[in-house]
Amino acid sequence: MLYGALARYTVKQEDGLSTDRIVINMGPHHPSTHGVFRAVMTLDGETIAGLKPVLGYLHRNHDKIGERNTFLLNMPFTDRLDYFNSMTNNFGYALAVEKLMKIPVAERAEYIRVIVSELSRIQNHLVFIGTLLNDLGAMYTPSLYAFEERELILDIFEAISGARMMCNYFRFGGVVRDIEDAEMQKIKDLVYDRLQYKTDELDRMLTENEVLLSRMKGVRMINAEDAIAYSITGPVLRAAGVPYDIRRADPYGIYDRFDFDVAVRYNGDLMDNYLIRIDEIRQSLRILDQAIKQIPQGPINSQKPAYQVRVPAGEAYGRVESPKGELGYYVVSNGKPNPWRYHVRPASFVNVTALEKISIGAKIADFVVLLAMFDMVMGECDR
Amino acid sequence: MDNEQLSLPQYEVPEDLQHAIAVTTLDRLYNWGRRSSVWPLMFGLACCAIEMIAAQTARYDLARFGMEVMRPTPRQADMLLVSGTVTKKMVPAIIRLYNQMPEPKYVVAMGACASGGGPFKEGYNVVAGIDKFLPVDVYIPGCPPTPQALIAGLIKLQEKIDKQSIKQVPWYRRKTKDPNYVPVPILGPDLIDPRRNAEIKSAAAVKEG
Amino acid sequence: MTAPASPLTLDLVARFPGLVQTDTRPGYSGFIVEKDSLLEVAAAVRDELGFDLMTAVTGVDYPPDKMEVVYHAYRTTGGPGLVFKVQVPRVDPVEVPSLIHLYPGVDLQEREAWDLLGIKFTGHPDLRRILMWEGFEGHPLRKDWKEGFYEEDTKPFKSRWPQGQFYMAEDKNPFNDNLPSRKTSTPKNGSPKATRCSTARWRVTR
């Protein structure tokens, strides 16, 4: 049935000759680091005439397992959705369940949540830049620069929560462990003394590069009306010119107290998609600066630690601005200790909807960069 | 790697010649060459792939062990490092990759998901461990295993390679044509393993009456 | 933010009398729309009310009698969102009109609802399974679909061996407890090699 959905194989041209198109498979195993994503392309020479994405190679039954788990037991599973930013995933789920439970969040915990989310955003964008340049062919050197900074941020996560990647740090009502003074000092050193200069260094090295400019500047990705119609969210939408950022449009937590700009670029081409991530790193550093200066002392959780939480019946949709887009959690509860329906609205999955429309007419070499720009993580896309 | 380790311990080579002469067996020489340059297949399924990449970066360097060359094509790779959850939809692709790898090949199951299903073991699309289909040499626990744990596991693989002997390795046997071929499973109403065809047929016959 | 502002409540219910009502279940919010007028209401939501970003389309299974499709829509100018639902009876096949011509972004999400829950969206040009493979039997996220190794509905699972699972190490040993003074002086499997490795003389007795 997949092959029935592909574009027409044999095409009759105007002068009566008919040409065949080639169907190739950019299969689930390929040299880029975007995970197991398969794209079945119909090619006309080297231009793409049709594209069908095939997903599900990492479908790990998150929804069904989530219905069996208790509410708190779902928290480590949300870590593994978008495995680059486990903190942001936890945040979204904690928001949804706190809406259902109607409990307040401790003040210091709110600030800690913001600090950790923004650090997570910075390291995700650094990895994005690294893997983008891997895809462009710069064999691993810029990605080593980017991963160096990421390792320092992961050291902080390990000191705070115990694990480098799958942190399982958020609880309903706050976070699980406080940030000690020594760790706060490390965060301050990193933000003030290192990250801004390293971002500038990466910017200086890469943005004016001739190869990047010729491959990415002017290659049109998507325009604003199409992006809204195709439900694209996140940096891809903002690079197309629509200044929609959930932290500013529909603030959650305490984001309305911080002074930051929504990063927006108006050309909608690949170069803008790359530049907007650097803009977002700088805005995140701004938020981090304010959060570090304003964080109060106090308890870190408004509830006592409990293994089974009491959640009244109802539904809630909690969403966060993850570095890839809008990550939403739709939780329906019927009073029992486990959810009745638990659905994750992933950013990557919904962004892939536009992939076919964007890539028709592009060349294969452009397609690789285009796919990298979506910043897809298959753990989130397939759940 | 120094020549001293290559030499057998019972032979004494004079000090000034130790960098030039080694007295060793063919097995040790053969295994030393193979274990010092295992080329992994660049194969990352899920979260463990990120720790695999992090193990290759400059902080936890895998190049010290000769594993920096990650080949995307299975025809040039030595080791299949299964990192991440193995799902039923992906299993035919993994097995085709394994069949395309030339001997000598090793399989390392990295992480809890590849070793035994991990946190997703009860999923309807999840295979509880890659060892249901492929012969695994080393299991590395962790979710995800830190790069230090991954390197410890790979050193274990190197020790395992050291113990193999040319006299018994399967790729030099005379009779077997393709010693490690695994038949590719079929995606039917559920994943069907062709090695269990007889069992499935008899169970279906029993069920039908 | 799921609760829409109150002027909207009056707007949508007043605009489509009889076709839209508010969701009055405790803890729930939003509107319930009749299935046949879904396209009209969605067009009004997009064009008149200005909710142009349809972010989430989900299916929910409420056995034994109904299934629901939940839509979340937001404005790109900011602000809280709009939730509306369609309730359909749980017959086989469940049919809901597709919103793909109004909001092209619901394409993959509707395919996922078909794949996992079995909700068929009429008007969708390419309704195939997306996360599972073609030929898979069943719609896994339904409440009555159980996998082959199903144990229990909710965690924590009870133990599979409520009396405990223990064995005495002597039962696995062919010599039982290795004392030659007992009656079983010959090993259970009777192999000649086994009689040589008796450990009886190192046993201390009181």
Q: At residue C201, does pLDDT exceed 90?
A: no
Question: A156 with A164: CB under 8 angstroms?
Answer: no
Minimal Cα distance from A337: which residue of C? C154
Q: Is residue C56 included in any domain, yes or no?
A: yes
Q: Are residues C116 and C181 in the same domain?
A: no
- Amino acid C199: pLDDT: 43
**Residue A5: predicted pLDDT:** 67
How does DSSP classify residue A301?
B
The answer on A172 and A133 residing in a single domain is yes
Number of residues that this document lists for chain C:
206
> Which carries the bigger pLDDT value, residue C206 or residue A48?
A48
User: How many CB pairs below 8 A link B and C?
Assistant: 21
Residue A361 near residue A48 (C-beta atoms within 8 A): yes
Question: What mean pLDDT value characterizes chain A?
Answer: 89
Contact C139, C147 (CB under 8 A): no
pLDDT of residue A303: 87
Task: Compute the distance between CA of residue A90 and CA of residue A79 in angstroms, rounded to an integer.
Answer: 6
**Domain assignment of residue C160, yes or no:** no
Q: State which residue of chain A sits closest to B59, comparing Cα positions.
A: A148
Same domain for A201 and A297: yes
Q: Residue range B161-182: average pLDDT?
A: 78
* Residue whose C-alpha is closest to residue A107's, from A269, A299, A259: A299
Final residue belonging to a domain, choices A38, A54, A70: A54
Which domain covers residue C185, as residue numbers?
169-202
Cα separations in angstroms, B133 against A16, A232, B137, C75, C77: 52, 39, 13, 49, 52
- Pairing state of beta strands B79-83 and B106-110? parallel
C148 in a structural domain: no
Residue type (1 letter), A287: I
Q: Which of B119, B22, B147 is nearest to A81 (CA)?
A: B119
Residues A230 and A262 in one domain: yes
**CATH number where A216 lies:** 1.10.645.10
Whether residues C53 and A244 touch (CB distance < 8 A) is answered with: yes
> Per-residue confidence at C176, pLDDT binned at 50, 70, 90?
low
Residue C162 inside a domain? The answer is: no
Residues A284 and A219 in one domain: yes
A358's tokens: 């964007």
Q: In whole angstroms, what is the distance from residue C22 CA to residue C10 CA?
A: 10
Q: Which domains does chain B have, with CATH numbers?
A: 37-172 (3.40.50.12280)
Domain membership flag for residue C80 = yes
Q: Is the pLDDT of residue C206 over 80?
A: no
Q: Is the pLDDT of residue C192 over 50?
A: no
Terminal alpha carbon distance of chain A:
23
| Signed CA dihedral, C148, C154, C157, C160: sign only | negative
| Residues A269, A153 within the same domain | yes
Task: Name the residue in chain C with its Cα closest to that of B190.
Answer: C136
Check pLDDT > 60 for residue C187.
Answer: no
The answer to whether residues C52 and A233 touch, using CB atoms and an 8 Å cutoff, is no
Cα gap B166→B32, rounded to integer Å: 12
The pLDDT of residue A50 is 87
Does the structure show a pLDDT above 80 at A80? yes
pLDDT at A15 over 80: no
Which residue range is the domain that position A20 belongs to? 10-54
Interface confidence, given as ipTM, is 0.89
Spatial strand order in the sheet of B138-140? B79-83, B106-110, B138-140
- Inter-chain residue contact C132 with B125, CB threshold 8 Å: yes
Domain end call among C106, C122, C138:
C122
On the question of pLDDT at A304 being above 80, the answer is yes
In angstroms, the first-to-last Cα distance of chain B is 66
What tens digit of pLDDT does each residue of B65-107 get?
Answer: 888 888 888 999 989 999 999 999 999 999 999 999 988 889 9
According to the model, what pLDDT value does residue C158 have?
Answer: 83
Structure token pair of residue B112: 């809890």
Same domain, residue pair A20 and A117: no
Please name the residues between 325 and 354 in chain A that touch chain C, using a CB distance below 8 Å.
326, 328, 330, 332-333, 336-338, 340-341, 343, 345, 349-350, 352-354
Percent of chain B with pLDDT over 90: 24
Task: Read off the pLDDT band of A347 (50, 70, 90).
Answer: very high
Q: Is B1 exposed, middle or buried (0-12, 13-18, 19+ CB in 10 A)?
A: exposed
- Domain count along chain A: 2
Residue A38 forms part of a structural domain: yes
User: What is the pLDDT at residue A1?
Assistant: 62
CA dihedral C7, C9, C13, C19 (to 10 degrees): 150
| Per-residue confidence (pLDDT) for residue B179, from 0 to 100 | 66
Which among C122, C137, C155 is the end of a domain? C122
Contacts within 8 Å (CB) and 24+ apart, B10-15? none
CATH number, domain with residue C89: 3.30.460.80
Residues A19 and A136 in one domain: no
CA distance C69 to C95: 11
> Which three-class secondary structure state does DSSP give residue C184?
coil
Q: Do C117 and A44 meet the contact criterion of CB atoms below 8 Å apart? A: no
Kindly list the partner chains of chain C, i.e. chains with 3 or more CB atom pairs below 8 Å: A, B
Which amino acid is located at C3 in the chain? Answer: A
3-state helix/strand/coil string of chain B: CCHHHHCCCCCCCCHHHCCCCCCCCHHHHHHHHHHCCCCEECCECCHHHHHHHHHHCCCCCCHHHCCCCCECCHHHCCEEEEECCCECCCHHHHHHHHHHCCCCCEEEEEHHHHHHCHHHCCCCCECCCHHHCCCCCEEECCCCCCHHHHHHHHHHHHHHHHHCCCCCCHHHCCCCCCCCCCCCCEECCCEECHHHHHHHHHHHHHHHC
Looking at chain A, which residue has its C-alpha nearest residue C125? A5
C110 and C180 share a domain?
no
Q: Per mean pLDDT, which of A105-114, B66-75, C126-135, C158-167 is the most reliable?
A: A105-114
Structural domains counted in chain C: 2
Give tens-digit pLDDT for C85-143.
999 998 877 889 999 999 998 999 999 999 999 899 999 988 888 999 888 888 888 88
Nearest-angstrom CA–CA distance, A247 and A254: 9
User: How far is C-alpha C124 from the geometric centre of its chain's CA atoms?
Assistant: 23
The answer on pLDDT for C189 being more than 70 is: no
A83 touches chain B (CB under 8 A): yes
Together in a domain, C13 and C87:
yes
Q: Are C32 and C106 found together in one domain?
A: yes
- Give the pLDDT confidence score for residue B1 in this predicted structure: 42
Give yes or no: residues A34 and A170 share one domain: no
- Does the distance separating the beta carbons of A233 and C55 come in below 8 Å? yes
Please indicate whether, in this complex, the C-beta atoms of A379 and B59 are within 8 angstroms of each other.
no
Classified as helix, coil or strand, C6 is: helix
- Cα–Cα distance between C120 and C122 in angstroms, integer? 6
Q: For the packed helices A107-136 and A86-101, what is the interaxial angle rounded to 10 degrees?
A: 140
* pLDDT value of position A287: 93
- Residue finishing a domain among C122, C143, C159: C122
Task: Establish if C137 belongs to a structural domain.
Answer: no
Q: Which residues of B touch A30 (CB under 8 A)?
A: 72
- Residue C152 included in any domain: no
Q: Give the Cβ contact number of residue A308 at 10 Å.
A: 12
**Parallel/antiparallel/unpaired status of strands A314-322 and A325-333:** antiparallel
Q: What are B98-139's pLDDT values in tens digits?
A: 999 988 889 999 999 999 888 898 888 898 888 888 888 899
What average pLDDT does the segment A198-225 reach? Answer: 88
CB A112 within 8 A of CB A91: no
Question: Average model confidence (pLDDT) for chain C?
Answer: 78
**Distance of alpha carbon A62 from alpha carbon A69, whole angstroms:** 10
Of chain A, the percentage scoring pLDDT greater than 90 comes to 50
Whether chain C has a CB inside 8 Å of the CB on B186: the answer is: no
Instruction: Write out the H or E segment, with its range, that includes residue C70.
Output: strand C66-74
Between these two residues, A40 and C181, which has the higher pLDDT value? A40
CB contact under 8 A, C105 and A350: yes
**Measuring CA to CA, which residue among C63, C1, C12 is closest to residue C41?**
C12
Least trusted range by pLDDT, from A232-241, C14-23, C53-62? C14-23
SS3 C194: helix
The pairing of beta strand A18-20 with beta strand A10-12: antiparallel
Q: Are residues A86 and A231 in the same domain?
A: yes
Interval B50-70: pLDDT, tens: 999 899 888 998 888 888 888
Count of other CB atoms within 10 angstroms of residue C165:
8
Q: What is the CA radius of gyration of chain B?
A: 20
- Clarify whether residues A34 and A75 are in a common domain: no
pTM, two decimals, is 0.88
Task: Give the whole-angstrom CA distance, residue C69 versus residue C54.
Answer: 13
Same structural domain, A101 and A175:
yes
Tokens of C80: 């809280």
Query: Is residue C141 a part of any domain in this protein?
Result: no
Question: Same domain, yes or no, for A216 and A339?
Answer: yes
Three-class secondary structure of residue A342 per DSSP: strand
